[in-house]
Structure 1
Amino acid sequence: MGKRIETRLIAAVLALFALTQVASAACQPGKIELAGERGVVSFDVSVADSFASRGRGLMFVKDMADSAGMLFIYGVTRPVSFWMKNTYIPLDMIFIDRRGVVKKVHANAVPHDTTSISSDVPIRSVLEINGGLAEKLGIGPGTLVRHADLPQTGVAWPC
C-alpha cells in the first residue's frame, strides 16, 4: 500500500473514531450541542422549564463562563419575549423552533434594559449565552440544536 493511501486510510479511521465519540457523547445531561457551518459547539446549561425558573432566568447573575448558558424550555411551541431587567451581563438569545433549528439570534441584549425582545415566530426553547459568542462561534438561523430535555420526535438532529 502506498504511503499516500495509508495516510488517507489512517485519517479516515481517526475521523470515524472522532465521529463515533461525538455520537456516543450526544445529549449528556446538562449539555446542549449546536451544529452549524463552523462545526459543533457545546455549552454546560442550566434548564429553566417551569414558570418560576423561566421568570428568574439569569437575573442577578454577575459572571458566567463562556462555556455556560441557560436553556429555557416551553411546553408548547409559541412566540415568546424576554427582557433584561435585573440581568447584569450582556446575553445572546438564541430562539429555537420545535424541530431544534435556530430561527433567530438576538445578539448582545443590553443589561437592565426593559425593552421586550421577541422571538417573532413560534419557538420551543431559547438558549442564553454570553453576549457576542453566537457570532464568534457561527451560531445563526439554520444552526441545529439538541439537548436531552428537548422533544426528540420530528426533530432535525435527535439525540
Structure 2
Amino acid sequence: MIKPIWRWLAGLFVAGCLALPAAAGDFPQIELSAGFYRIEAEVAFNQPMRMQGLMQRQSMATNHGMLFVFPQRARHCMWMKSTLLPLSVAFLDDEGRVLNIEDMEPQTESNHCAAQPARFALEMNRGWFAGRGISPGARIAGVERSPRPQ
C-alpha cells in the first residue's frame, strides 16, 4: 500500500515542477538588433515563461532584455506585478516592426497594451528605446530566429 502512495506523490511532485515558471537564467537567449544596437534577449516562448517574465529581477544589463513570443497575433497587454525594474516594452508585429512603446512602473498592475495585433513584446530597461531614437516603425531584427511559441 505504501509504494503506490509514494509513486503518486513522486508523480505529483514532478508534474508540479514541470508547471513552475522558469527561473532567471533558465530562459533561452537570442541576439537581436535595432539598427546598429545589439540586444541580448532572454526568450519567453511558453506560458510559464511569459507569466514569469522579469519578475523579481534586481537588475538587468544595459543591452539586455526579454523577448515575449506569443502563439497568435493579438492586442497583448503587459503588467508589472512583482517586477522590480522600471521597463519599457515595445510591441512588435510578425516582422519585428515596432507598433508602439510603453513605459512601465515597477510593481504595478496597470495594463500596457499593443496598439495593434502584435506577435512579440520586447522589454528593456526603461528609456532604452527612447535613448537610441527607436520609435514605432523601426525594425527589431532577429525575432524570426526565436523559438516557436507554445
Which TM class, normalised by the smaller chain length? 0.7 to 0.9
The alpha-carbon deviation at position 72 of structure 1 amounts to 0.3
Q: Map 1:17-32; keep pairs closer than 5 Å.
A: 30-32=30-32
| 1:26-105 matched pairs, under 5 angstroms | 30-35=30-35, 40-105=36-101
Describe the superposition over 1:88-126 as per-residue Cα deviations: whole angstroms up to 9, x where unpaired.
01001011011221010002x100011111112100100
What is the aligned partner in structure 1 of residue 128 from structure 2? 133
Q: Give TM-score scaled by structure 2 length.
A: 0.75
State the Cα distance separating 1:139 from its structure 2 match.
1.2
Normalised by the length of structure 1, the TM-score is: 0.71
* Aligned residue pairs, count: 118
Alpha-carbon distance change, 41 to 150 in structure 1, aligned in 2, over 3 angstroms? farther
Q: Distance in 2 between matches of 1:146 and 1:79?
A: 21
- Consecutive unaligned residues of structure 2, counting only runs of 5 or more, are 1-28
- Please tell me whether the aligned partners of residues 43 and 68 of structure 2 are also in contact (alpha carbons under 8 angstroms): yes
Gapped regions of structure 1 (runs ≥ 5)? 1-28, 152-159
Counterpart CA distance in 2 for 1:42 and 1:150 is 19
Letter in structure 1 aligned against 2:108: D
Q: Which residue of 2 aligns with 1:119?
A: 114
> Is the 2:83–2:106 Cα contact (8 Å) retained in structure 1?
yes
RMSD: 1.4
> Residue 120 of structure 1 aligns to a residue in which SS?
coil
Could you list the structure 1 runs, at least 4 aligned residues long, displaced by more than 6 angstroms after superposition.
none
